[in-house]
Structure 1
Amino acid sequence: MGIRFHANRDEDAMKETPFDPTNREILDRLKTVPAFDSLPEGQLRMALQAASLRRYEAGETVISEGDFDNRVFFLIFGHLSVTVQNNEVGTLRRLGDVFGEMGIIDGSPRSASIVAVKPTLCVTLDDTAMGELGSPSKIFTQAVMYRVFAEVMAVRLRDANSRIAELEAELQRLNK
């Protein structure tokens, strides 16, 4: 992977920098993310006006269950653990994995905690910053994000339904 991640051991906290639309390497990588792959580069740059890059060290918390936040995250590289009530329920490792979208949709507190297992880089979109974009950019960016959210939620609902069916079958087996 060409993107370099240099840890600064003097600082423990996440590092955030505004997205630099001239960073060709990150822009090219983002163009392979399913959320952005169909966008012409000009529209992608427009959507990313509300974006920033966040880097996390192993062990750093990205999202805390129960907190309120107005950001959605797109994984660029790294490995994240997803926990609910201190039980690991999943991991995120693939380029373009999306998380944090539910808080944007309904304004509820975070339903899970997400912690970096390895050094991780994410692009984040801030809902407040999206609201401050000019009208065409704002409408376009919101339309793209809600399409992505709908796709992510559909996949997660299918997975949840499958897990429920497996658990119900196991419960029936145990009750016999």
Structure 2
Amino acid sequence: MKIKDLSAYQHDEISALLGNIPFFKELQTQGQEQLAVLMRHSCLVELEPGETIMRRGDRGSWLYFLIKGQLSVYLDEAEPLNTITPGELFGDLALLCNHERKATVAAQPGSKQCLLFATDFKPFGDLTNYGVIDLHTKLAFYRTMVHSIRWRLEVNRMEHPKHPLAAELRQVPTYSGEKGVEAELQSLFSQAQFLASVLDSWNSEGVALEDVMVASAANR
């Protein structure tokens, strides 16, 4: 595993790497100062075939975006349960649900080198503390999380329409107030936690176990 400091890269190189990640793409166009803050708490990670980036039972504050290559998701040492492809984000459910990682994630054996963009979630701090990460950035981030977790749950629901947890999707809190304000952020946070808890319960039953949230441009 190689960890690379972003200071070694030119601005254009970083922009090209993050161009297919919706959250960072939005910051590139609307929040360069906030993007710079997150860059100080981020790095690039290179994995050789078979190397592990996240282990089941670990705790951590890092989120990972896969830029290049393919990763496999394992419950144990058996066959992989899922595949992570470029543009996907993983490691978020453990943060939202405040629990240990539920799966091990490793570069696929025999595949090409994997490149990941890793961001430490710690600077986000308390939800309504905007000392480091401002309201706009938090809104953009939680909108992406809500959309993406909901998308994964909808995939589960389509595959298992009679599953008891499918009905939980109708109970997701909604927000109809003013956009771009703290009340919307609090609502998005509640929605993200609710959806993450449903997905976490669903995954824990072994239906489609993963600690992965899809956040690719194709799913926006």
TM-score normalised to structure 1 length: 0.73
Partner of 2:75: 84
- Equivalent in 124, 136, 147 of residue 143 of structure 2: 147
Structure 2 stretches lacking a partner, 5+ long: 165-220
Q: Which amino acid counterpart does residue 93 of structure 1 have in structure 2?
A: T
Contact 2:124 2:132 in 1 (8 A): no
The 3-state SS of whatever aligns with 2:4 is strand
Q: How much is the aligned-residue C-alpha RMSD, in angstroms? A: 2.8
Q: For residues 63 and 136 of structure 1, what CA distance do their matches in structure 2 show? A: 27
Contact 2:43 2:119 in 1 (8 A): yes
Partner of 1:46: 37
Q: CA deviation at 1:139?
A: 4.5
Segment of structure 1 superposing worse, 99-108 or 17-26: 17-26
Partner of 1:16: 3
The 3-state SS of whatever aligns with 2:100 is coil
Q: Which amino acid counterpart does residue 74 of structure 2 have in structure 1?
A: T
Q: Going by fraction, where is strand more abundant, 1 or 2?
A: 1
TM-score normalised to structure 2 length: 0.60
Segment of structure 1 superposing worse, 143-152 or 102-111: 143-152
Q: CA deviation at 1:109?
A: 0.8
Q: Going by fraction, where is helix more abundant, 1 or 2?
A: 2
Asked if residue 59 in structure 1 is aligned to residue 50 in structure 2, the reply is: yes
- Equivalent in 109, 113, 131 of residue 135 of structure 1: 131
Q: Give the 3 Å change call, closer, same or farther, for CA 112–82 of structure 1 in structure 2.
A: same
Structure 1 stretches lacking a partner, 5+ long: 1-13, 169-176
Asked if residue 35 in structure 1 is aligned to residue 23 in structure 2, the reply is: yes
Question: For each residue in 1:73-124, what CA deviation from the matched residue of structure 2 results, as whole angstroms up to 9, or x when unmatched?
Answer: 0111111111224342211122x21111112212211111111013111111
Question: For each residue in 1:45-80, what CA deviation from the matched residue of structure 2 results, as whole angstroms up to 9, or x when unmatched?
Answer: 333222111111100011111211211101111111
Aligned-residue identity in percent: 25
Contact 1:35 1:148 in 2 (8 A): yes
Q: Give the 3 Å change call, closer, same or farther, for CA 78–68 of structure 1 in structure 2.
A: same
